[in-house]
Amino acid sequence: MHFILGEPGVDWISGEFYGSNRRLARTARAAGNPEIVNRHWQLSAEVLDLEARPGLMQERVTGWVSCSGR
């Protein structure tokens, strides 16, 4: 509820990862692995019966990782 009720830029920063204590946290190392990321999106698309577009998702994930400086 904290992030739903909070104000962007004040209570939380868009694109960042937060731990269970509501503080900025590091993502798992696997989150920056392109092979794992693409496989995750492929499986998610299959489960949801959607067409996977690996290039699109990889660009977004790469951007998220580099934005946080981790």
| pLDDT number for residue 49 | 85
Are residues 63 and 14 in contact, defined by beta-carbon separation less than 8 angstroms?
Answer: no
Q: Domain range holding 25?
A: 2-68
Q: pLDDT tens for residues 2-44?
A: 667 778 788 888 888 888 888 888 888 888 898 998 898 889 9
Tally of structural domains, the chain: 1
Q: Residue 11 has what pLDDT?
A: 82
**44-68 pLDDT tens trace:** 988 988 876 655 555 555 554 434 3
Q: What is the pLDDT of residue 18?
A: 84
| Alpha-carbon distances, residue 12 vs 7, 21, 54, 58 (angstroms) | 7, 13, 28, 24
